[in-house]
Amino acid sequence: MEQSTIWWLLTGTLIVVELATGTFYLLMMAVGIAAAAIAAHLGLSVIEQIITAAVVGGGAVALWHWRRLQEPKPIHASSNPDTIIDIGQSVHVERWHADGTATVKYRGANWTAILPASESTNTTGADTENGHKTGNFRIKALQGSRLVLEKI
């Protein structure tokens, strides 16, 4: 059996395994093995064929991994305006409760509103109550049935 035939059989096997598992990296390795098959057709030695498979397959895997790292991270559903239509809407906070929550009127109902845990309390200014500013806020996310607000 020709060396190129063995490489092509290995390529086909990797593609079948990739289709069964859904691991895209196996497809990249199959590209490297196919390059080794082409190297065998060109008459390169077995060592050169193996080096070709390693360089092309490893390079394809590294390039694919690098490309995936460059993609922006997906937005969590609780703060994604494409899944929750309330995000970005405005509400008015008249006063904050001692526990750090506020009751706001939104869409005809009373909602409990909170500030993000990362936001520090503001204790300066005349329009503060319980360490938080009052006024207009924008809905940043939903946390269960609570509106997470950010100051406009």
| 3-class DSSP state of 149 | strand
**Which of 139, 127, 128 lies closest to 87 in space, CA to CA?**
139
CATH code, 126: 2.40.50.140
Confidence of residue 126 (pLDDT cuts 50, 70, 90): very low
DSSP character string of 97-118:
-TTSEEEEEETTEEEEEE--TT
Residue 108, by phi and psi: left (phi above 0), alpha (psi -120 to 50) or beta? left
Asked if residue 115 and residue 146 are part of one domain, the reply reads yes
- pLDDT tens track for 57-90: 999 999 999 999 999 888 888 778 888 888 999 9
Predicted model pTM: 0.55
- pLDDT tens track for 4-61: 999 999 999 999 999 999 888 999 999 999 999 999 999 999 999 999 999 999 999 9
Asked if residue 83 and residue 146 are part of one domain, the reply reads yes
The number of domains in the chain is 2
Asked if residue 126 and residue 81 are part of one domain, the reply reads yes
In 7-134 the beta strands, taken as DSSP E runs, fall at: 90-93, 101-106, 109-114, 128-129, 132-133
pLDDT over 60 at 122, yes or no: no
Asked if residue 102 and residue 64 are part of one domain, the reply reads no
Asked if residue 82 and residue 145 are part of one domain, the reply reads yes
d(CA 35, CA 120): 57
**Could you list the residue range(s) of the whole structural domain that residue 14 is in?**
3-70
Asked if residue 110 and residue 63 are part of one domain, the reply reads no
Asked if residue 85 and residue 112 are part of one domain, the reply reads yes
Higher pLDDT, 117 or 120: 117
Confidence of residue 124 (pLDDT cuts 50, 70, 90): very low
d(CA 50, CA 97): 69
